[in-house]
Structure 1
Amino acid sequence: MERTEPPGHYDIPPPPPVPPQAARGIDLRVDKRLLWVDGAAYPLRNITRVYTFTLTPRRKDAALLFLKRLGIILSVAFALTILGGVTGLASQDMAGTIITLVWLGSAAAIVFSVVELVSVLGAPTQYVLAVETSGPSIAMVTSPQPQYLDQLVGTIVHAIEHPDTQFQVRVDRLLVNPRNYYFGDNVNMYGGTGNVGVASA
């Protein structure tokens, strides 16, 4: 005799256990057909994709940009130095002042470029969980334990398929400068300046 489950009964996979590092994170929960990521709500029916991926810094792009900037800065500095030397023959003091200002400005621009380069080279690779909607919104969270996010994908997918599901877990807020990372597919990111926590339309 075959055993049947009562109508409406689902074998609900439990959410993965919360890793200790996420204790100071944000809440990710499903309640009343809404996915809440901290204070942002996403209707489950509007979610088109849930997946994990590795967020990689743009190290190669940053190095090429630094070399390009360095070439431009030094070219301009040498050109202005030569021009100042040629046109300032009548007044050595004026030429010396102009050349000093040119090289001080060049040094400041090089320092700024080095700081930007180091910020990208020092940015860590992040393993993230992303939730995309049918609109331009995307929410991303992270955790120091990749398998935790992988399990969470299954839990969210189950909640999409079974809208009566409810659960709550803790995850870490993703705090990165979006200009420093490759995001894989082209996505539109909204909310925040510089750092991205929860992205919502």
Structure 2
Amino acid sequence: MPPPPAVPPRTVRAVDLRVGKRLLWVGAAAYPLQNITRVYTFTMTPRRKEATLRFLKRTALILSVAFALTIVAGLTAIADGSMAGGILTFVWIGAVAALVFSIVDLFSVLSAPAQYVLAVETSGPSIAMVTSADPHQLDRLVAPIVQAIENPEAEFHVEVEQLLVNPSNYYFGDNVNMYGGTGNVGMGKS
């Protein structure tokens, strides 16, 4: 078995990736080697289009509700002969706060970089992802992990970077088109 890649210099976000006693450790998480179904590298890209569409939908909804409440408050004030200033102030402060939240959410996705990651999938719903400043290090880690799955005596230890991202902001894994079934997105047979 070839030796695993050299250990990179320690970084602030370093995490241990090691194999020993039939377990793959990613930081403090342990994955039994016999439960690992796939080990691969890929580039995880931010969902910029979806974030922009979500922002536009939120903005349209927020402004529609704010304008509708403004019109209702104005008509009510005209009918009663009273002032609706307090309610309108509350409505527009809430609308501005919601717009600020939407803008922050949009820019958090738009400014997110693409991440080259090593992913380890298990036979259950678990997935472990790590990254490195050196993408080639991740590519070189796939073979030692696979060999450790096949060889119960294999052991190694490297340091990689911990992946700190919001998975809902990224595309990752394979894209699969499913036909038929219940609740799947795709084209159905007629």
TM-score bucket of the superposed structures, by smaller chain: 0.7 to 0.9
TM, length-normalised to structure 2: 0.85
Note the 1:5-154 alignment, pairs <5 A: 12-20=1-9, 22=11, 24-89=13-78, 90-93=80-83, 95-154=84-143
**8 Å Cα contact 1:21/1:144 also seen in 2:** no
What secondary structure does 1:82 align onto? helix
Cα deviation for residue 18 of structure 1 reads 2.0
What secondary structure does 2:37 align onto? strand
RMSD (Å), alpha carbons: 1.7
Amino acid of the structure 1 residue aligned with 2:99: I
Unpaired segments of 5 or more residues in structure 1? 1-11, 187-201
**Range moving further from structure 2, 96-105 or 120-129:** 96-105
Counterpart CA distance in 1 for 2:119 and 2:31 is 12
Counterpart CA distance in 1 for 2:116 and 2:55 is 27
Cα deviation for residue 22 of structure 1 reads 4.6
What secondary structure does 1:119 align onto? helix
Alignment match, 1:179: 168
**8 Å Cα contact 2:39/2:146 also seen in 1:** yes
What secondary structure does 1:135 align onto? coil
Which whole-Å deviations, capped at 9, do the CAs of 1:139-176 have from their partners, x for residues lacking one? 11111111000000011112122221111111111111
**8 Å Cα contact 1:14/1:155 also seen in 2:** yes
Cα deviation for residue 19 of structure 1 reads 2.3
Relative to structure 1, the CA distance from residue 21 to residue 58 in structure 2 (aligned partners, 3 Å threshold; closer, same or farther) is farther
Counterpart CA distance in 2 for 1:121 and 1:41 is 33
**8 Å Cα contact 1:128/1:141 also seen in 2:** yes
Percent identity (aligned): 68
Amino acid of the structure 2 residue aligned with 1:78: F
Amino acid of the structure 2 residue aligned with 1:91: G
Counterpart CA distance in 2 for 1:163 and 1:38 is 20
Relative to structure 1, the CA distance from residue 58 to residue 158 in structure 2 (aligned partners, 3 Å threshold; closer, same or farther) is same
Unpaired segments of 5 or more residues in structure 2? 176-190
**8 Å Cα contact 1:23/1:170 also seen in 2:** no
Note the 1:157-176 alignment, pairs <5 A: 157-176=146-165
What secondary structure does 1:29 align onto? strand
TM, length-normalised to structure 1: 0.80
Cα deviation for residue 53 of structure 1 reads 0.9
Relative to structure 1, the CA distance from residue 24 to residue 112 in structure 2 (aligned partners, 3 Å threshold; closer, same or farther) is closer
